[in-house]
Amino acid sequence: MNHIDAVFQELREEGETALIPFITVGDPDLGTSVEIIQALEQAGAHMIELGVPYSDPLADGPVIQRASERALKHNVTLIDCIQTAENARQAGVKLPFILFSYYNPVLQFGLERFFSLIVEKGISGLIIPDLPIEEDGEVRAKAEEANIHLIPLVAPTSHDRVTHIASKARGFVYCVSSLGVTGERSDFHKGIEAFLSAVREATTTPIAVGFGISSREQVERFEGQADGVIVGSAIVRKIEEMVPLLQSPATKQEGLEGIRAFVSALRG
Ligand SMILES: O=P(O)(O)OC[C@@H](O)[C@@H](O)c1c[nH]c2ccccc12
């Protein structure tokens, strides 16, 4: 049993859907990231994707690309992001943390060192969007050994790979709602309902849907079809809007309240 499993089990008993925000760690700075994580928990988030800023975020739209640029202006590193999880825990945050990183920073860091550090700092899950299942053997073995959930992504175009990917999934299966890069959308892939049912059929592991979700009505649309809903760009854009307030001590609380209120409205 891992912290992520416990949260999904509790939500299932309550008939609730998990709200899973994504933020870029270090945006606008590392100290504020801890306060933003606290605000997300206060707003009712159930677990958080902690994104490692990356210079070449291929799968990201402009909002998250800009967030990475803001964080990389302060040279935020993979270690900083992992340390932020521990800092948030020490600040009293109870939520499970999912580290979200492209593969290159993890590879450069070294798998042994990486897994022992994320276990030590209390990370429960890992998403590496550019590590296909065909190549994830070594990472998967180390994750299993460390009781870290390696969360795979499946897309509406995954078709016959869905069963294979879902059968190996731990934590939850990340169902990508649309093709293309991250970013708010007014609509999703045309076969999204059938896709989510196919993934549901393929595994008893919880499934969560992400990409493009930015409003309470869009969250509501997926409650019941999925065990969790992931929201990134819409929250990252709210953080971007609040940056001027967050950067001045006199208005920082107002900025954090703006983020909390936005996420609380998604929760409904
Ligand atoms: O930003 P969106 O459209 O709300 O989608 C979630 C997404 O931000 C987050 O899960 C994520 C951030 N970067 C990614 C790269 C690939 C897949 C997923 C992601």
Cβ–ligand 1 distance for 233 under 6 Å, the answer yes
Cβ–ligand 1 distance for 127 under 6 Å, the answer no
CA–centroid distance, residue 253 to ligand 1 (Å): 26
Tell me what ipTM this predicted complex has. 0.98
* pTM, two decimal places: 0.97
Ligand 1 atom nearest the C-alpha of 213 is 4
Q: How confident is the model at residue 206 (pLDDT cuts 50, 70, 90)?
A: very high
Give residue-wise pLDDT tens across range 10-62: 999 999 999 999 999 999 999 999 999 999 999 999 999 999 999 999 999 99
CA–centroid distance, residue 2 to ligand 1 (Å): 23
Residue type, 163: T
**Predicted local confidence at residue 117, as pLDDT:** 98
Identify the H or E element spanning 234. Answer: helix 233-246
In contact, 242 and 259? CB cutoff 8 Å: yes
Q: How confident is the model at residue 230 (pLDDT cuts 50, 70, 90)?
A: very high
**60 part of the active site:** yes
pLDDT of 217 over the 90 cut: yes
Cβ–ligand 1 distance for 230 under 6 Å, the answer yes
CA–centroid distance, residue 63 to ligand 1 (Å): 10
Average pLDDT over residues 100-119: 97
Q: How confident is the model at residue 210 (pLDDT cuts 50, 70, 90)?
A: very high
pLDDT of 1 over the 90 cut: no
CA distances from residue 240 to 24, 53, 106, 169, 199 in whole angstroms, order as listed? 11, 15, 26, 33, 34
CA distances from residue 255 to 6, 66, 135, 248 in whole angstroms, order as listed? 32, 18, 42, 9
The whole-chain average pLDDT of the chain stands at: 96
Identify the H or E element spanning 155. Answer: none
CA–centroid distance, residue 127 to ligand 1 (Å): 10
Question: Pick the residue with more confidence: 224 or 152?
Answer: 152
Q: What is the 3-state secondary structure (H, E, C) of 20-51?
A: EEEEECCCCCHHHHHHHHHHHHHCCCCCEEEE
Question: Which of 58, 60, 151 has most ligand 1 atoms within 8 Å of CB, for mutation?
Answer: 60
Percent of the chain with pLDDT over 70: 100
Percent of the chain with pLDDT over 90: 94
Task: Out of 27, 41, 60, 227, pick the active-site residue.
Answer: 60
